[in-house]
Structure 1
Amino acid sequence: MQILKKVLWVLFILPVVLGGVFGCGYVFYLWEEADTDLKKVVDYKPDLTTQILDTKGRLIANIYDKEFRIYAHFNEIPPRMVEALLAVEDTLFFEHNGVNLDAIMRAFIKNLRNQKYAEGGSTLTQQLVKNMLLTRAKTLDRKLKEMVLALKLERMLTKEQILERYFNQTFFGHGFYGIKTAALGYFKKPLALLSLKEIAMLVSLPRAPSFYDPTRRLEFSLARANSIIKRMYDLGWIGDREMDAALNEVPQVYHTTTTQNVAPYVADEVVRTLGFLPDLKTGGYTIKLYVDLDYQKFARDSLRLGYQNMLKQLRENEDSTLNGAMVVTDTKSGHILALVGGVDHNRSSFNRATQAKRQLGSAVKPFIYQIAFDNGLSSASLIPDVARSFNNRNGATPKQRHWQPRNYNRKVNGLVTLKSALTHSLNLATINLVDYVGFDTIYRDLSSFGFEDLPKNMSIALGSFSISPLEASMQYSLFSNYGNIVEPTLIESITDSRGHEKPLKLITPKSVLSPSKAFLTLAVLQNVVEKGTGRKAQVPGLEVAGKTGTSNNDVDAWFCGFSPSLQTIVWFGRDDNTGIGRAMTGGMVAAPVFGDFMKKVLKFDPNLKRRFEIPEGVIAQRINGETFYTIKGTALPSQSQGNTPLLF
């Protein structure tokens, strides 16, 4: 008998005792180690999506790294949302301590009956620690860890904090992490505006996100939601009327993308500009821009229309190397209201508005004439529009060493006023003007205006240097902003996930000229649009000023123009830097885009300022039936008396 007892002890009792001891020791070990493991849950800092908004608070784009998540604090989550979740996942959530033994026993019996793992009996707390800390392996060890972690987590967080983490951490399918993200993605609604049916459809997703995805299997999603609603009714959490209304509702479901990017060139520029923020795509920032999505659409549509018209004239297809860009700013503040970096972001994400450096061509001429006005000449002064030859000893080839410029139409016009020379963009008159004022003076003052990398030869008179459309926008603010150069700014504010606003660099205008001096050129630029190369930019009922630009061999086509309140830079060219095509000048292809855009804007906002202000101290004088402006106290030459100085 004694021998039998010893055998039983060795075979049965000792293993059970040792197993119990080791089991208790292992559980104690897990309990002690739980603090370290649970730190990720307690100090919950999930990756959050950064949202880019336009100046009116409308979504431009979501940017994120791996998980598209918009955070919802517990006070944002509707009570019905909590009830629906508990009805389907964990009815006794507010009563248990992290583990529901009754549910575990029911699941154990069900698994035995089915002879397979069919149900886990996990509470929401267990589900949270499993999703955040553990694998999905269906093992006893993983289940034991899950239970221990859940029990200890309930001692570290309140029930509301656990629910908040669950609702934000959970994957709801379609790339959506978190309940707020899913509500906006599937229904385009904030949480507070969701119906009971929509709530039920959302809480049904975590179990099988793909299967119950309402954008793919709406009938299954509705059926699952109905079962949840009936469960809520059985629990007494809703009444007959609310249940019937919910069961009969079929919500509208949207098939939205996670980025929802409606202005990709703008979003790309934001990412480039804020690249210094290491958590830009995970920090949950709200970035508000000065961009107005209405203006952005008008600009994109106008640029696209101009592009299509060019393709027709050139008899090319959509695969053409032809492309374009557009920058719209407020004339006073420099705020960027629209930015289009190409005709099709899907074909090319290269942002030609900010990254491309292209020859400015004749669009540089207003700055040269401004320098001439600053040095004592007037728009009524005469200049010879005759051919000249220039020697450049540094030229690599005979052609480069001997430069003989000509007008676009190959003609010469003799003596012309500076107003006429700029209005009709006469190359020869402009080069003679540079020679008269002095190349060193022109070079120095162009540099003082902010132009960079200027070649030290006479070709700068025809815009032989390169500049981006965004940089051109800044330079042209000299005229549109009456003598003040202002850097175009895209970002209005940056707010982090805690609601703290980050300080931004303050952009202040650079005063270069008096308003009266700047107006002398502005007035001529109005004439460019009324009677010169920019006639296709005209907008009925709106005063417009601007300058066309075409680089050598029709490689670049520009129109840089402005109204009293808006400035718009339009550029067209080929990505391979070859010529656009014969007669594809700035006046023919870029100016019409400006005009079309401004007409759209004026129809949208008819209260835009329509007339330019004439600064104090500027006077008008009629000479030979034509109006010329000068600053009070400065005499205009009288052509009728024949004493106008000739410039050679």
Structure 2
Amino acid sequence: MFGRRGEIERREPVLGTPGFDGDLRLTADDRPTLGSNSMARERSSSGNKARKGAANASSGAAKGATRGSGGGGRRRPRRGLLGRLFYWGAVLGLWGVIALGGLIFYEASQLPPIQNIAIPERPPTVIIQGSDGKAIATRGEMGGANVPLRALPPYLPQAFVAIEDRRFYAHFGLDPLGLARAVVVNLTAGRLREGGSTLTQQLAKNLFLTQERTLSRKVQELILSIWLETKYSKNEILELYMNRVYFGAGAYGVEAAAQRYFGKSARQVTLSEAAMLAGLVKSPSFLAPTRNLDGAQARAEVVLGAMREAGFISAEMQQAALARPATLAKTQVPDSTGYVADWVMEQLKSIIGPIEGDIIVQTTVDPALQAAADKALKDALGKSGKKLGVEQGAIVLMDTDGGVRALVGGRSYEESQFNRAITAKRQPGSSFKPFVYLTAMERGLTPESLREDAPIQIKGWRPENFSKEYRGPVDLKTALALSLNTVAVRLALEVGPEAVIKTAHRLGIASKLEPNASIALGTSEVSLMEMVDAYAPFANGGVGVTPHVIERVRDKTGKVLYAYAQPSRGMVMAPPHVAMMNRMMQDVLLVGTARRADLPGWPAAGKTGTSQDYRDAWFIGYTGRFIAGVWLGNDDASPTKKAGGSGLPVDIWSQVMKAAHKDVPPVTLPGAGTYQPGGLPPGEAPEEPVVTGGPQRPVPAAPRPGLDNWLIDKLFGRS
């Protein structure tokens, strides 16, 4: 429809008209057109092609506009290679940051909550001192005391900063510049020459993490480094680092390292020594000056150069330090003090309980006597050990109150930490006979009592004397001096093996002893420390003692945690019996098997011992001041080449006791007075008898009738 002036009439739907079905949707007739419906259909038919062409043209224009870089239908220029690299680099970088953030978040979740993280307590250090108050050993995981940074010479911490982390005071725990420099240096050198870790990162690794090289550990290290930097000052971090880092040779912390290598406190090190210490942390096991002094000195030169570049020292100071490089201090104490230190640590737990802080243990050990004992054993084995087939030995030197003044548990602690003076148990041979003779004295016999030296047989066992000769009736002092086996066995049977064992236990033997006839010849195994302990009552007048090495224990503030009260086990031997035994055992050194003993001006006594097949060689000897015991043998109990107690053990004993009695006024043996017993003519001292077993060669004479044979018949029967 057309309205006025050619306008198309607008139709509106009318509600409520007849025929309206309520559908308000437009029909084709309701849509407006330029003319009538018939005209529109005609035009539609004739304009289809025109519309299709227009549509195609419009579609092409739209595609062209999409490819163009600007409006108005212009085409966009193609992005260059640099642009694409920048684009994809930005994309990858963004994803990398996201991935790194996720990794950091994950690794942080594997750590304890930040509020729960704390610096682990430094493990306690045990400083072990000699009787003179000087340190002879340290024990503990760290092996040295904590030293405040302010107590150190300034060039010592500066050396660590110069060589390990020159930007330490500028970074926040991670040093990007230092890391980049390390990468460049390593790439240029074609090998790993520098590390990118800061001192803070190294401390975080040492305090909290393992030494494994993984990405996970490195990320955790970074997290903990930042935490350390936010919680502690730079100086506190540096102090922690220097007191925890490993310096090689078992030394943790700068104090332990200074003591280990230079024999002094870290407070007293020189510039050249400070440079060497700082240089060790790069490769402590390889550069430890105890095994690679040249390498440690070369590394110290590098440290001095770094200190000069950093402005910490002048050129004059550098040249002076280079002119006098650090060297190892001469060891003031022998390595055998390790046996002492181990024994101390074994006893501490029972004395003071768990060790919760640094402690100082003062011992009874005299460093000079320890060195003398160590030298005596090493010299003897070095000179005669191979010839005699002897590989090992042990020495115990004790005062008459039970204080251990020297203890050597083997020829080399570095090679073997097994303590042959305390732990090893071996057959003492004839050095056990004094307990048999003392038991006989306590049953009413005297040194002048006579017993038969003649062949004896007990159920097929025929103990015989070393010389294979027999003297017939002989007094007990001569029998002990000459170590006659037949007399010792007869005495043991006379008093009873059980009584002998009770005597030995009363004097200080703790090991289990077998109650048989061969007990008289020392066939039950004991330790060297037990034997020295059991001989102490002969030296001090009959008082039982307890061997001890710990005199006093203090904490780091000086508070006394323990002091030895010198408890006595009371009298274990009557004075008359002490006098008798000392008179007899003095003859062992004057006319008997230990005539090689050399201790001018001092009355001394003792007893030698050799076990079956020369497996063990002993000498336990004493004066009114000291008791010393020496054992020689092989760890596998193999026979030696006839090394007996009257030979090398007596020589070693003489050397140790000379050192112990130097400048000490002589005293007599308890009860012995000035008694000078007679004995064999000079030159007739026999070799030490050997405990033997099994079939023996025919004996020259049968035992004479008497009490001896009656006891044998009664106790053991005839074989």
Given the two structures, how large is their TM-score scaled by the length of structure 1? Answer: 0.72
Letter in 1 for 2:654: G
Q: Name the structure 2 match of 1:464.
A: 523
The runs of 5 or more residues in structure 1 that have no matched partner are 392-400, 627-645
- Contact 1:61–1:262 (8 Å) recurs in 2: no
* Distance (whole Å) between structure 1 residues aligned to residue 247 and residue 501 of structure 2: 62
Letter in 2 for 1:45: E
Pick the structure with greater CA Rg. Answer: 2
Q: Name the structure 2 match of 1:638.
A: none
Q: Which of 428, 436, 448 in structure 1 is aligned with 2:486? A: 428
1:221 aligns with 2:302: no
Q: Name the structure 2 match of 1:328.
A: 397
Shift of 1:16: 11
* Distance (whole Å) between structure 2 residues aligned to residue 299 and residue 245 of structure 1: 43
Letter in 2 for 1:383: L
Q: Name the structure 1 match of 2:121.
A: 45
Identity of aligned residues (%): 30
- Contact 2:428–2:523 (8 Å) recurs in 1: yes
Matched length: 592
- Contact 1:321–1:575 (8 Å) recurs in 2: no
1:535 aligns with 2:610: no
Aligned-partner SS, 2:646:
helix
Provide closer, same or farther for how the CA distance between residues 138 and 300 of structure 1 changes in structure 2, counting only shifts above 3 A. closer
Q: Name the structure 2 match of 1:252.
A: 326
* Distance (whole Å) between structure 2 residues aligned to residue 16 and residue 443 of structure 1: 86
Provide closer, same or farther for how the CA distance between residues 224 and 325 of structure 1 changes in structure 2, counting only shifts above 3 A. closer
Q: Name the structure 2 match of 1:291.
A: 365
Shift of 1:262: 4.5
Letter in 2 for 1:379: P
Q: Which of 374, 382, 385 in structure 2 is aligned with 1:300? A: 374
Aligned-partner SS, 1:484:
coil
1:587 aligns with 2:646: yes
* Distance (whole Å) between structure 2 residues aligned to residue 211 and residue 371 of structure 1: 60
Provide closer, same or farther for how the CA distance between residues 34 and 481 of structure 1 changes in structure 2, counting only shifts above 3 A. same
Provide closer, same or farther for how the CA distance between residues 526 and 86 of structure 1 changes in structure 2, counting only shifts above 3 A. same
1:165 aligns with 2:217: no
Q: Name the structure 2 match of 1:351.
A: 419
Provide closer, same or farther for how the CA distance between residues 125 and 474 of structure 1 changes in structure 2, counting only shifts above 3 A. same
Q: Name the structure 2 match of 1:362.
A: 430
1:383 aligns with 2:450: yes
1:611 aligns with 2:667: yes
Aligned-partner SS, 2:113:
helix
Encode CA deviations 1:397-421: one digit per residue, 9 max, x unaligned.
Answer: xxxx244444333333344333233
- Contact 1:129–1:149 (8 Å) recurs in 2: yes
Q: Name the structure 2 match of 1:230.
A: 308
- Contact 1:44–1:165 (8 Å) recurs in 2: no
* Distance (whole Å) between structure 1 residues aligned to residue 231 and residue 585 of structure 2: 71
- Map 1:397-412 to 2 at 5 A: 401-412=459-470
Provide closer, same or farther for how the CA distance between residues 551 and 37 of structure 1 changes in structure 2, counting only shifts above 3 A. same
* Distance (whole Å) between structure 2 residues aligned to residue 59 and residue 238 of structure 1: 33
- Map 1:106-505 to 2 at 5 A: 124-125=199-200, 128-129=203-204, 132-133=207-208, 149-172=224-247, 176-203=251-278, 206=281, 215-217=293-295, 220-231=298-309, 233=311, 243=317, 246=320, 249-254=323-328, 261-267=335-341, 269-270=343-344, 287-307=361-381, 317=387, 320=389, 323-331=392-400, 333-343=401-411, 350-380=418-448, 382-387=449-454, 389=456, 391=458, 401-434=459-492, 436-437=494-495, 441-451=499-509, 452-493=511-552, 503=562
Aligned-partner SS, 1:411:
coil
**More off after superposition, 274-283 vs 416-425:** 274-283
- Contact 1:38–1:149 (8 Å) recurs in 2: no
Aligned-partner SS, 1:291:
coil
* Distance (whole Å) between structure 1 residues aligned to residue 102 and residue 395 of structure 2: 70
Aligned-partner SS, 1:535:
coil
Q: Name the structure 1 match of 2:683.
A: none
**More off after superposition, 188-197 vs 518-527:** 188-197
Provide closer, same or farther for how the CA distance between residues 76 and 493 of structure 1 changes in structure 2, counting only shifts above 3 A. farther
Shift of 1:426: 2.8
Encode CA deviations 1:300-343: one digit per residue, 9 max, x unaligned.
Answer: 333345446655xxxx658x465433222112x22222223344
Shift of 1:562: 0.6
* Distance (whole Å) between structure 1 residues aligned to residue 193 and residue 641 of structure 2: 70
* Distance (whole Å) between structure 2 residues aligned to residue 390 and residue 118 of structure 1: 79
Shift of 1:577: 4.2
* Distance (whole Å) between structure 1 residues aligned to residue 221 and residue 614 of structure 2: 71
Shift of 1:546: 0.8
- Which structure's residues are more often strand, by fraction? 1
1:526 aligns with 2:586: yes
Given the two structures, how large is their TM-score scaled by the length of structure 2? Answer: 0.66
* Distance (whole Å) between structure 1 residues aligned to residue 303 and residue 119 of structure 2: 33
- Contact 1:229–1:246 (8 Å) recurs in 2: no
- Contact 2:273–2:326 (8 Å) recurs in 1: no
Provide closer, same or farther for how the CA distance between residues 537 and 221 of structure 1 changes in structure 2, counting only shifts above 3 A. same
RMSD: 5.2
Letter in 2 for 1:178: G
Letter in 2 for 1:455: E
* Distance (whole Å) between structure 2 residues aligned to residue 623 and residue 224 of structure 1: 73
Shift of 1:107: 6.5
Shift of 1:167: 1.6
